[in-house]
A and B are shown apart, each in its own frame.
Chain A
């Protein structure tokens, strides 16, 4: 390796050693020791083998990455690629027993990432124009944006026929409902965060208000789903206005924290107001939606036709799931349609203008408080609709469903997808919600991976995966040429 002008082997070893030392210091207390509860007391167990292994992987990984950076990409690619393939083959065929599966998979991920990186260096070296990873993502974002015209309807069409496909079992349709719920929540929050640029960390509060409004109204007054839905949405919007009125003059981080506090307050009130919400035990027996008045039951009461009888089918529980799927699909598409249309109206343009420059907006005579308030209320309303749907789907709600993590996930869907991008929300929901649901077995690792993914995506691409910020309106007669149009002074 002396032939290269780059750092010597000694320097590389020093760098990798420093990194290994730092990670050893990080891992020593929490990885090296395990606290185990045993009969009224806790005892220590030791995991030094695992600790040393993890540190060794980090040392080797860092060294390989440095070498790849210094022009040894092919060798590194071959080494790490071969290891990844062999390890995966071994994991599936089980030739050699793996002592620590979690650490093994971690090693596999580390080496695969290094292999990808090395491949990318080679790809880059082969091109005349220099590109880095974020340029590639930028281009992907632009391509998807251009394809958006076809991709959107194509995805909608797929969503429409998905439950009727032969591969769609109940689990699949349930997963579809879950993903669609987050898509709807994401689109709702996108109005607040993506269009109006207000950071809302307590969106789950409106989801909760919608769900509880639905539960209380339907249990106390016996209204059905379609009658209650607008009421629950109105209730959530009212809460949005009530909260928004005092706090919307705060900016940035302060607004985020106040909304977070508000979300927690709502949860605590739901938890403690026993007379209304039944406290931590939650509310059960919430009315399920009917199909134009026909229930989804195996044995309907006398004089009532159940859905399967009306269509002359055998009773199957999946019928209700499919109906729920179409309800949430319709609601989500309505949210999307509404957002796309309102972006063209003066109010929608005012939101986007406000996001870009509040002072300029004030100078132009836009009332920032009212404009923000409408965004907040509309976002809250969609949250309330989604909450109603959640209540009717589950049939049971409790305050634990509406904790901060939920808000964080919805926000992650919006931000990771690329703020303001409708298609980005869909992609992020499928990746973040659908992906981990498939790996339910890895329950314990799910949230760790979720957090790490959030950090990684932000560090790699702070604008979000598919960010593509372009003015919604253009001067008449001028064709939008993305890069230029974005800079053209919009008048």
Chain B
């Protein structure tokens, strides 16, 4: 029971990270119908910007933890958002009305480019930072001496993610910008006829997705204390799996899917084998697509002649 509870806490923490990345995939898929393959690498760039910000703050002597975290968060979101914008502007905009394969290939190229660009500029070795938030609350101890620990870091992660997701859902549901975004998602041509600036809306979608991915990247850095240029590939694939699992195109679906993938991965590692945890995530993806191609919360896609 205690062991289970501990895994649950760990799983929810990991799921929060995947959920944040998955939102970017699902929004872009919803509006453009393409898999933004480079999104995982945008997440990685978010982590790197956070490392660099952390080091700059260290040089400037601003090390009060809450302030430093806020700075890292904002700076990572801004600069990664610019990357998200540039990826769309350079790689995808010209291909918007092209055949379905072209944007995907362009996205794969973009992903390869970003990975190697970061490797070239920052070196192939992983970057480690000292833990910024340590300690935690001990919830209970089993008779065998296993202690369930809810780290302060995990609390911060879950709190930040919850706040961001609620705020983001409100942004999409209530504001004019969110309305425009949803309008483009439903019918881009009609939205344009009604005066929505489609290019601007799509750019904003990419910026928002990248900003959320940047938060995920920073959290990843804080949680694992380490980041390298290759981390985006696997995390990106898993987050995409989460988006598909939840039903691609659906925001609550992405969050739910992220949570589930995090839980599946952690429980699989805890009860079966650590080596095959990635296989488990992919196997789930395949099973979901075979038995419920629209995902858990997705709308069925009607095929028109």
**When the two chains form their complex, are residues B79 and A25 in contact, meaning their CB atoms are under 8 A apart?**
yes
**When the two chains form their complex, are residues B55 and A359 in contact, meaning their CB atoms are under 8 A apart?**
no
Given contacts A33-B55, A452-B113, 18 further A-B contacts (CB under 8 A): A26-B83, A28-B79, A29-B52, A30-B121, A31-B121, A35-B51, A35-B127, A246-B286, A247-B289, A261-B282, A265-B283, A404-B233, A405-B112, A411-B108, A454-B105, A454-B112, A458-B91, A458-B103
Q: Say which one of A3-11, A344-352, A383-391, A440-448 lies at the interface with B.
A: A440-448
26 contacts between A and B (CB under 8 A): A26-B86, A30-B45, A31-B121, A33-B52, A37-B123, A247-B290, A252-B100, A253-B29, A254-B244, A260-B237, A271-B275, A408-B108, A411-B108, A412-B109, A448-B120, A451-B112, A451-B115, A451-B117, A452-B109, A454-B110, A455-B90, A455-B109, A458-B91, A458-B95, A459-B106, A463-B102
Tell me the complex Cα distance, A408–B118, Å: 19
CB-defined contacts of A28 to chain B, threshold 8 Å? 79
- The B interface is mostly helix, strand or loop, or mixed, namely helix
Say which residue of A253, A265, A405, A419 sits within 8 Å of B104 (CB atoms): A253
Q: Is the C-beta of A116 less than 8 angstroms from some C-beta in chain B?
A: no
**When the two chains form their complex, are residues B121 and A42 in contact, meaning their CB atoms are under 8 A apart?**
no
- The A interface is mostly helix, strand or loop, or mixed, namely helix
Q: Mark B59-98, 1 if CB is under 8 A from A, else 0.
A: 1000000000000000100010011001000110011001
> Of all chain B residues, which has the CB nearest A450?
B112
**When the two chains form their complex, are residues B112 and A268 in contact, meaning their CB atoms are under 8 A apart?**
no
- Tell me the A residues contacting B by CB distance below 8 Å: 22, 25-26, 28-31, 33-37, 42-44, 199, 246-247, 250, 252-254, 256-258, 260-262, 264-265, 268-269, 271-272, 359, 404-405, 408, 411-412, 415-416, 419, 444-445, 447-448, 450-455, 458-459, 462-463
Tell me the complex Cα distance, A445–B120, Å: 7
Q: Is the C-beta of B279 less than 8 angstroms from some C-beta in chain A?
A: yes
Q: Is the C-beta of B151 less than 8 angstroms from some C-beta in chain A?
A: no
In the complex, what's the smallest C-beta–C-beta distance from A261 to chain B, in angstroms?
4
**When the two chains form their complex, are residues B102 and A447 in contact, meaning their CB atoms are under 8 A apart?**
no
Closest 3 A/B residue pairs (Cβ): A454-B109, A451-B113, A451-B112
In the complex, what's the smallest C-beta–C-beta distance from A28 to chain B, in angstroms?
7
Given contacts A455-B113, A459-B106, contact A262 B286 (CB under 8 A): yes
**When the two chains form their complex, are residues B95 and A246 in contact, meaning their CB atoms are under 8 A apart?**
no
Tell me the complex Cα distance, A265–B94, Å: 34
> How many of chain B's residues have a CB under 8 angstroms from any CB in A?
68
Given contacts A35-B52, A250-B293, A462-B102, contact A408 B276 (CB under 8 A): no
CB-defined contacts of A463 to chain B, threshold 8 Å? 99, 102
**When the two chains form their complex, are residues B303 and A359 in contact, meaning their CB atoms are under 8 A apart?**
yes
Tell me the complex Cα distance, A381–B305, Å: 34
**When the two chains form their complex, are residues B95 and A25 in contact, meaning their CB atoms are under 8 A apart?**
no
Say which residue of A31, A257, A269, A419 sits within 8 Å of B244 (CB atoms): A257
**When the two chains form their complex, are residues B285 and A257 in contact, meaning their CB atoms are under 8 A apart?**
yes
In the complex, what's the smallest C-beta–C-beta distance from A373 to chain B, in angstroms?
15
CB-defined contacts of B233 to chain A, threshold 8 Å? 404
CB-defined contacts of B305 to chain A, threshold 8 Å? 359
Chain B residues 1 to 53 lying within 8 A of chain A, measured CB to CB, are 29, 34-35, 45, 48-49, 51-53
**When the two chains form their complex, are residues B276 and A268 in contact, meaning their CB atoms are under 8 A apart?**
yes
Tell me the complex Cα distance, A265–B213, Å: 25
**When the two chains form their complex, are residues A254 and B289 in contact, meaning their CB atoms are under 8 A apart?**
yes
**When the two chains form their complex, are residues A44 and B109 in contact, meaning their CB atoms are under 8 A apart?**
no
> Of all chain B residues, which has the CB nearest A273?
B275
Tell me the complex Cα distance, A451–B37, Å: 13
Say which residue of B35, B120, B121, B237 sits within 8 Å of A253 (CB atoms): B35
Given contacts A454-B105, A458-B95, contact A33 B118 (CB under 8 A): no
> Of all chain B residues, which has the CB nearest A447?
B116
In the complex, what's the smallest C-beta–C-beta distance from B15 to chain A, in angstroms?
19
**When the two chains form their complex, are residues A415 and B101 in contact, meaning their CB atoms are under 8 A apart?**
yes
Tell me the complex Cα distance, A258–B123, Å: 32
Tell me the complex Cα distance, A408–B113, Å: 12
Tell me the complex Cα distance, A408–B109, Å: 8
Q: Is the C-beta of B128 less than 8 angstroms from some C-beta in chain A?
A: yes
Q: Is the C-beta of B181 less than 8 angstroms from some C-beta in chain A?
A: no
Tell me the complex Cα distance, A463–B95, Å: 11
**When the two chains form their complex, are residues B289 and A25 in contact, meaning their CB atoms are under 8 A apart?**
no
Tell me the complex Cα distance, A39–B40, Å: 30
In the complex, what's the smallest C-beta–C-beta distance from A38 to chain B, in angstroms?
11
Given contacts A253-B35, A462-B102, contact A30 B122 (CB under 8 A): yes
Tell me the complex Cα distance, A325–B271, Å: 49
In the complex, what's the smallest C-beta–C-beta distance from A36 to chain B, in angstroms?
8
Chain B residues 111 to 144 lying within 8 A of chain A, measured CB to CB, are 111-123, 125, 127-129
Tell me the complex Cα distance, A261–B286, Å: 8
> Of all chain A residues, which has the CB nearest B76?
A29
Given contacts A35-B123, A257-B240, A405-B112, contact A265 B279 (CB under 8 A): yes
**When the two chains form their complex, are residues A199 and B104 in contact, meaning their CB atoms are under 8 A apart?**
yes
